[in-house]
Chain A
């Protein structure tokens, strides 16, 4: 079984350590991982801005890059959801369909495909878990507070198994951080206010770190934290799970 590692463009450029942690974690969990070198972007920034009609070349590139792997795994709920909902090909639609059915966000791949219940990592800090909307409400990684349904959380369960971790309880467990792709610049005032409020919830509960499955939300909150001169940092869940995993 071959896992194709899909690294979102902004993670590739700005957060290589998250991609490295994802790769190492998957390898330590016994996976054969390939990183198709011609990959770029899933096309979501354009599509969510109303320009999905431009993105066909990106779709074709993606299908070409990932057509031969058994699973596509990505350390981002948002990019994964976009591929699941919108990846189509004019030349090899059957391959595109197979990818849509076999693309996984990292934590759901670990819990649902690899059936790994816990990872022997250690992270002795107070950690706030940010529920990124597309992973949660789109991929159903965690139960949503709006619904009258049993609670669960795939990333939360993995995190709760980490040694010495102290997960903080938030006042609003699944409110959006306001990143929203181009929303963060087109609706700057509301976006920044949402980010400030989300960060404040974590700080109020004494979080040393804010974690999540999407670096885009974390990048947004990191921008706010650093502007405020806060000591609290952001860390992708792959980086936590990759700390001290026995190989």
Chain B
């Protein structure tokens, strides 16, 4: 790990005006979500239903996957299985090489971010263009998405104007969203017309029919796929839902939770390749079966990637997605990432006050803050604590386990604070950097009680 969340968040906080803007932008999305959620009287029932459907899926994932594969094959889809990110990336490369192409258009897929597909294909000489506008912006800037639904939410429109001036020849100083979007549309139109292979993600895969559903607001997935000879769809194995009738539950929850829209502009169903087209589906594990085996963390696989937990998280809003140094950021990312690499992501479950707002907005009722607490226990027992932290925790625990020691330490501590305030009011005390210390009273409540009662 180069830098952990506290340092990256501290850097983000150097520009307070920007933090305020980031916080307010995402809070606005949270408010839109609230408005949409509070308009549906059956909202809480929908969440419970979705959670239960996913519960059933996770308990029977093997059979649903086999059913899905059989139906997809019968529909004429070529199905591939990838145990990990490397295998997924190789499968994509093989398909590209079979079709003798060295460029590809890709709509939004957090799975390919998780697998670092762009980097891999870039190293192999393949040119990938992301067609989701937000993703295209971060791609041009040489960054990764900072949010799973709003990839460039950390960019201001003026900054996008500078970027587009450089790469798309828009007028210098132009920050008009309409004009910038128009420029991106022209730029992407050429991409759509000339790419023979298009890759999309998958939001929902229906075991009963072998079809899959891709949700976008821009229609870019459809543009890419409809103009390409080859459609590659990458999905995590947890994207399965049993029957088509269950889809309505999730489609009603997804966009309302994500942005407050009743539904995404496009909910595109893909069932079989059209004449002359080939369709590949890559089913990716990449740690999901390991997580399925961790009882305390299994429910994290219910996630439908709406991003509501990020928008509501007071820490995320004030630290930015990149401070989580993981493809999936925010509260859900903090319980998914340690499963992939405990050492690298040991800081993330601590990037939370355990306020519980994430759990309350989650459309599939993942107990996110409880899992953050449980990951903390696992990580510390796995030895991921610094020596200083372990020693201070042990010392604190020893003092608090012995009443005499506790009372004496408290008295000495308060006396020192009163006599030598400089002992705590200095830059070595992180509390003191932005906050005054509480005043130390002469007597504790225990002292008062001994004098005044009995």
Contact = CB atoms under 8 A, between A and B. Distances in A.
Interface stretch (B102-110, B234-242, B400-408): B400-408
A111 interface: no
A190 B315 contact: yes
A38 B437 contact: no
Given A16-B441, A146-B312, A187 B397 contact: no
Nearest to B41: A148
Tell me which of A13, A14, A17, A191 has the highest count of chain B C-beta atoms within 10 A of its own C-beta.
Answer: A13
A133 B430 contact: no
B119 interface: no
B352 interface: yes
Given A12-B410, A49-B393, A187 B400 contact: no
Contact of B44 (A149, A176, A178): A149
Interface stretch (A100-108, A116-124, A159-167, A223-231): A223-231
B435 interface: yes
B401 A57 contact: yes
Nearest to B378: A50
B123 interface: no
Interface in B387-440: 389-390, 393-394, 396-397, 400-403, 406, 410, 413-414, 430-431, 433-440
Contact of B401 (A58, A137, A227): A58
A4 interface: no
B318 A190 contact: yes
Contact of B314 (A9, A55, A176, A185): A176
For this complex, into which size category does the number of interface residues on chain A fall? 35 or more
A188 B434 contact: yes
A145 B381 CA distance: 35
Contacts of A51: 380, 390, 393-394, 397
A137 B436 CA distance: 28
B444 A185 contact: no
Contacts of A145: 34
B403 A175 contact: no
B43 to A, nearest CB: 4
Contacts of B396: 45-46
B23 interface: yes
Nearest to B11: A189
B6 A180 contact: no
B433 A48 contact: no
A227 B413 contact: no
A137 B445 contact: no
Contacts of B447: 16
Contacts of B9: 187, 189-190
Interface string A35-58: 101111101011111111111011
B92 to A, nearest CB: 37
A110 B163 CA distance: 60
Interface residues of B, number: 75
Interface stretch (B54-62, B184-192, B213-221, B353-361): B353-361
Contacts of A11: 445
A13 B40 CA distance: 48
B27 interface: yes
A168 interface: no
A8 B436 CA distance: 21
A113 to B, nearest CB: 23
A15 B353 contact: no
Contacts of B266: none
Contact of A219 (B10, B397, B433, B438): B438
A186 to B, nearest CB: 6
B256 to A, nearest CB: 11
A99 interface: no
Nearest to B433: A188
Contacts of B361: 146
A53 to B, nearest CB: 6
Interface string B22-38: 01000100000010011
Contact of A193 (B19, B43, B439): B19
Nearest to B381: A53
Given A148-B38, A148-B41, A188-B433, A12 B445 contact: yes
A133 B12 CA distance: 25
Given A14-B438, A138-B356, A148-B38, A197 B23 contact: yes
A196 B10 CA distance: 15
Contacts of B349: 50
Contact of A61 (B312, B401, B413, B444): B401
B389 A180 contact: no
A58 B444 contact: no
Interface in A32-91: 35, 37-41, 43, 45-55, 57-58, 61
Contact of A172 (B27, B401, B436): B27
B360 A46 contact: no
Nearest to B319: A190
B376 interface: yes
A51 B448 CA distance: 32
A82 to B, nearest CB: 10
A195 B10 contact: no
Contacts of A191: 353
A35 B449 contact: yes
B453 interface: yes
A179 B438 contact: no
Contacts of A23: 449
A219 B9 CA distance: 23
16 contacts: A12-B444, A13-B413, A37-B403, A37-B450, A41-B400, A49-B376, A49-B389, A57-B397, A58-B401, A133-B353, A134-B354, A148-B44, A149-B44, A183-B350, A183-B353, A220-B435
Q: Which 5 A-B pairs have the closest CB atoms?
A: A223-B435, A180-B353, A50-B380, A50-B376, A192-B434
Interface of A: 7, 9, 11-17, 19-20, 23, 35, 37-41, 43, 45-55, 57-58, 61, 133-134, 137-138, 144-149, 172, 174-176, 178-181, 183-197, 219-220, 222-224, 226-227
Given A133-B356, A148-B40, 17 more contacts: A9-B410, A16-B441, A16-B447, A50-B350, A51-B380, A53-B380, A133-B355, A138-B356, A172-B27, A176-B314, A183-B350, A186-B350, A192-B434, A192-B435, A193-B13, A194-B353, A223-B431
